Structure 1
Amino acid sequence: MLGSRGTRGTRGAALAACAALMLGTTGCGTEDKAAPAETPQVRLYGTDGNMQNSFAAEIKDRVDLIDGMKGTTPLTPLSDDFKNRIRSVDPKISDYLYAGETYDAVVISALAAQLAGSTRPADIAAQINGVSNQGRRCDRVATCLQLARSGTDIEYRGVTLTRAGFTDVGEPATASYATLHFDNGKLNDAKTEFVGAGDESTASTKTPPKGKKARPGKSDRSDGSPLKLGGLLPKTGDLALAYPPLAAGAALALREINAAGGVLGEPVVWIDGDDGTSPQVAKATVARHVAGGVQVIIGAAASGVSRAVLPDVVDAGLVLFSPSSTDGGLSTVEDKGLFFRTAPPDNLQGRALADVILRDGPHRIVLVARKDSYGEGLQANVRGELERAGIGADRVKLLTYEPPADAEAPKVDFSAGAQEIKAYGADAVLVIGFGESVQVITALADAGVQIRH
């Protein structure tokens, strides 16, 4: 599997061979001639926030521009059962991106609190990694809660946490990525491919504190119950297009936890909150959660927002649990053991993206990223993977753009960057961004860049 310990050398050799082929007359994985035209057609690639059906809706009457666009996102093959349960929460849902990760983040938080016998954030944090490692395996909320109430150590395997548990720093040891394709204004599920990444041996082997047996009868609240979870999800801003599956995942988990008896004898309480895809909006929401007695915050969605609010959350002694922040730098940020995520770090996705791009045998590649920790971090990871595959610096151009500060800010103006890409003669452009990357793609077309469909 991609990036796994046993096959990393094989994958690296394949990428190197692919790069070598591109120096000849044929591209890797394509029958197109390698000799570039004077005005080459550009293949578009995307990731995460712009590889959703809701992104096609954002581009509206110019949706034809993304026909043929492909890219990657962290995504586990979802069962029909889970999709049906999600649709029971939101019948209008059209994407499932990070729905599973959000569901698992809420469930793991609840199981950790039940095993800790406490809603004290530090006690919950001490159980989170252990919930997914080296215990009695369970994959249903009701079963896992029953085991936790008996004080039994559990190994939760949920929607996205399937192959291995969390590492010592509180993130998945393994992950699954999907290669997605836009056709006729929507994602073509028939073309979706899944590939594994990561290393099961990196899962934590540390023994968590011994689980506490639940007291008989209803909680007397001396354990701090009820457990309060605070939402920090993008109801507004450039990631608002990703809000429906995130919200549905959280709502489904909460419903199933409470249907199974709740945590510590009480129903789990959800306090809604917007991260605004903006540090300023998110910080205000965090302050309200602190004042409201929340113990665990589910979010933020964007890596830059999680990084911005983490000091505030840590100072308040709360747990921050993100379902979708993928910045690799968050693995080593100072968090006093209070930051966790069900989304895998971007160093794993960088390999998957480089693989997708190299399959088409490009000659001149431009990596465009929003100027924040997520965009620049993933851009650097992809660049590093291309370099390891033999793609020299003369064949890769890096560009960034300032994302809007909030929903009221002016739209991104990428006209100058589009002209640079045209002059460079790129035949592959990766766009790392959220809803605002609509302006990047339309600017390319307006500059006369010929987008390949």
Structure 2
Amino acid sequence: MLVSRGPRRAALTAAACAALLLAGCGSDGEGEAAQPQPTQVRLYGTDGNMQNSFAAEFDQQTGLLKGMKGTTPLTPLSDDFKERLRKLNSKLSDYLYSAESYDAVAISALAAQLAGSTDSAEIAKQIIGVTTGGERCDSIAACLRLARNGTDIAYRGVSLSRGGFTDIGEPSTASYATLHFGSDEQLDDGKTEFLGAGDESSASVKRPPAGKKQTKAIEESSGAPLKLGGLLPRTGDLALAYPPMAAGVALAISELNGAGGVLGEDVAWVDGDDGTNPNTAKATVAKHVDAGVHVIIGAGASGISRAVLPDVVAAGLVLFSPSNTDAGLSTIDDKGLYFRTAPSDILQGRALADMILRDGPRRIALVARKDSYGEGLQGNVRAELERAGHGSEQVRLFSYDPPPNPDSPPVNFAAGAQEIKQFGADAVLIIGFGESSKVIEALATAGVSLRE
């Protein structure tokens, strides 16, 4: 709301009130001055909280998600793929990163098949090439048949449907969805829109080592069975994303083994939790090393992958995440052993900024959890907003410390909520996981008027 300044503004206001006296300008009808209406604030979210299961994180207040909008890396999923997932988990309510998890497992297995070995270093040499250059195949069974003959393939699965991997082992293209929470605090599929990002021309053109045709001798010397170890967020702040990721992994392994397995043996899955916690994740990695795992699927959160990557590299294993989006991971020193099917947050930052700006906000608050994911994406969104002309007076950054352990006190964002209210934000982006529900509750408690 504009503040009156100078005699001319006051005169105009008085004249307007005189002209509208019968309508009660400046009065509530009983002689008292009308109170200004609070600014309506629109909430925005990201892949860490734009899920149906997020509503269950609110144990004190309800109705706060109505109208919240956000973006997430998401490919339009076929009814057939969803049905195959639901056969493994009939209670599945979200599909976030299910496709990326499925593809991470499939690519790892196909790489081992082409390498003719379960040696992690040999698998790593094949992973990028599995997605580029060769004969296109779009199912696990079809790709396995080609790989067993040593044929160079270009895998096109569920999430990886357009371009292959770049030279640094991540998708060259991505698909994003704009999501909306409806009046029932569940995502309204009828309002979901998809948009593409990235550039197919950035996919790698390097040729991988020649694939090895499967023979009895190769089978016997390969070290099969291929062992994949889980490092997914079964517990912790990101646990709400675990069911679809676990379903995607389970489906891929089922279909790999249903198609005859890899190198003459069924693929083995060694379960493991990252806990959305560095200490839990490091302990799981150590167990996988002892168990002889060849490829670790995870971690869920980017910050957790950063924490465990030195341990994984020291052990000479592959770390393949279906959900890491931290842009900084693109340049991390990984010795060629880190890969991801999730796109970089540089792309999501553009999609988020575009969505927010289309609503025409005046003042924008960007709230992020303090880790590489939260602060990295926050920085990317801020940069995009600045390019659009929204400077420091219009954009404010806020952050919070996520609980270090499940039994730690919940997030206390009371002070930050008051600052956002005083700033007069009419748009608030919240970058976090399940714990970010406490940020929204704090905004409501502070009297911030959340727009439905």
Alignment of 1:195 with 2:188, yes or no, is: no
Equivalent residue number for residue 156 of structure 2: 157
Distance 1:391 1:38, change over 3 A: farther
User: Aligned AA for 2:389?
Assistant: G
Tell me by how many angstroms 1:286 deviates.
0.2
Q: 1:402 aligns to what?
A: 401
Q: Shift of the alpha carbon at 1:57?
A: 1.9
Aligned amino acid, residue 165 of structure 1: G
2:359 aligned residue: 360
Aligned counterpart, 1:439: 438
For each residue in 1:285-338, what CA deviation from the matched residue of structure 2 results, as whole angstroms up to 9, or x when unmatched? 000000110010000000000011000000000000000010000000000000
Provide Cα deviations, 1:212-242, integer angstroms capped at 9, x if missing partner.
000149932x211110000000010001111
**TM-score for both structures, normalised by structure 1:** 0.91
- Aligned pair in 2 of structure 1 residues 218, 330: CA closer, same or farther (>3 Å)? closer
Q: Does 1:244 align with 2:239?
A: no
Report the counterpart of residue 7 of structure 1 in structure 2.
none
Q: Report deviation, 1:81.
A: 0.6
One-letter amino acid of the counterpart of residue 308, structure 2: V
Corresponding residue number in structure 2 for 1:330: 329
Q: Output the amino acid matched with 2:202.
A: T
SS of alignment partner, residue 219 of structure 1? helix
What SS is found at the alignment partner of 1:42?
strand
Q: How big is each residue's C-alpha offset from its partner over 1:331-382, in whole Å with a ceiling of 9 and x where there is no partner?
A: 0000000000000000000000001100110000000000000000000000
Native 8 Å contact 2:47 2:73 kept in 1:
yes
In structure 2, how many angstroms separate the alpha carbons of the residues matched to 1:39 and 1:332? Answer: 44
Task: Kindly report which structure 2 residues correspond to 1:72-87, keeping only aligned pairs within 5 A, or say none.
Answer: 72-87=71-86
One-letter code aligned to 2:200: E
1:183-240 Cα offsets, whole Å, 9 max, x none, are 12100000000000001111000000000000149932x2111100000000100011
Question: CA offsets, 1:388-434, max 9 Å, x none?
Answer: 11111110000000011121211000001001001111000000000
What is the deviation of 1:253? 0.2
Is the Cα–Cα contact under 8 Å of residues 116 and 219 in structure 2 kept in the other structure? no
How far apart in 2 are the matches of 1:38 and 1:85?
A: 50
- Which residue does the alignment assign to 1:179? 178
Superposition TM-score, scaled by structure 2 size? 0.91
SS at structure 1 position matched to 2:61: helix
2:449 is matched with: 450
Alignment of 1:10-409 (within 5 A): 39-60=38-59, 62-183=61-182, 184-216=184-216, 219-220=219-220, 222-409=221-408
Inter-partner Cα distance in structure 1 for 2:92 and 2:272: 20
Work out whether residues 105 and 298 of structure 1, in 8 Å CA contact, stay in contact via their aligned partners in 2: yes
Q: Which runs of 4+ in 1 moved over 2 A?
A: 60-63, 216-220
Residue aligning to 2:32 = none
- Cα distance between partner residues in 2 of 1:60 and 1:200: 44
Q: Aligned runs of 1:405-424 on 2, under 5 Å? A: 405-424=404-423
- Structure 2 distance, partners of 1:216, 1:125, is 23
The code of the aligned residue for 1:434 comes to: F
CA distance in 1, matches of 2:111, 2:416: 47
- Aligned partner of 1:191: which letter? K
SS of 1:400 mapped into structure 2: strand
The answer as to whether partners of 1:217 and 1:265 remain within 8 angstroms in 2 is: no
The residue type paired with residue 291 of structure 1 is D
Q: How many percent identity over aligned positions? A: 71
Write the distance in 2 (CA, Å) between the matches of 1:393 and 1:340: 35
Post-superposition offset of 1:60: 4.7
Report the Cα distance in structure 2 between the residues aligned to 1:218 and 1:127, rounded to whole angstroms: 16
Q: Could you say if the C-alpha distance between residues 338 and 218 of structure 1 is closer, same or farther in structure 2, counting changes exceeding 3 Å?
A: closer
- TM-aligned CA deviation for residue 63 of structure 1: 3.3
1 CA distance for matches of 2:428 and 2:42?
6
For 2:157 and 2:287, locate their aligned partners in 1 and report how far apart those are by CA, in whole Å. 30
When Rg is computed on C-alpha atoms for both structures, the one with the higher figure is 2
Please give the secondary structure, in 2, of the residue aligned with 1:194.
strand
Please say if residues 218 and 266 of structure 1, whose CA atoms lie closer than 8 Å, have aligned partners that are also in contact. Answer: no
Secondary structure of 1:186's match? coil
Partners of 1:411 and 1:380 in 2: CA distance: 25
Task: Flag structure 1 segments of 5+ consecutive residues without an equivalent.
Answer: 1-36
Amino acid of the structure 1 residue aligned with 2:278: P
* Kept in 2: contact 1:57–1:63 (CA 8 A): no
- Counterpart of 2:447, as a letter, is G
Query: Aligned equivalents of 1:353 and 1:179: distance in 2?
Result: 9
Code of the residue aligned with 1:244 in structure 2: it is P
Is the 8 Å Cα contact of residues 116 and 218 (structure 2) preserved in structure 1? no
CA displacement 1:38-86 (0-9 Å, x = unmatched): 6211100000111000001222563311100000000000000100000
CA distance in 2, matches of 1:199, 1:371: 30
Q: Which amino acid aligns with 2:105?
A: V
Distance 2:277 2:54 in 1: 19
Partner SS, residue 385 of structure 1: helix
Q: In structure 2, what residue type is equivalent to 1:54?
A: S
Q: Which has the higher contact order (CA 8 A, sep 6+)?
A: 1
Amino acid at match of 1:302: A
Give the 3-state SS of the residue equivalent to 2:133 in structure 1: coil
Amino acid at match of 1:73: T
Residues in 1 aligned to 2:179 and 2:442: alpha-carbon distance in whole angstroms? 23
The whole-number CA distance in structure 1 between the counterparts of 2:416 and 2:292 is 46
CA distance in 1, matches of 2:307, 2:62: 33
SS of equivalent to 1:187: coil
SS in 1 for 2:293: coil
Q: Distance in 2 between matches of 1:185 and 1:426?
A: 23
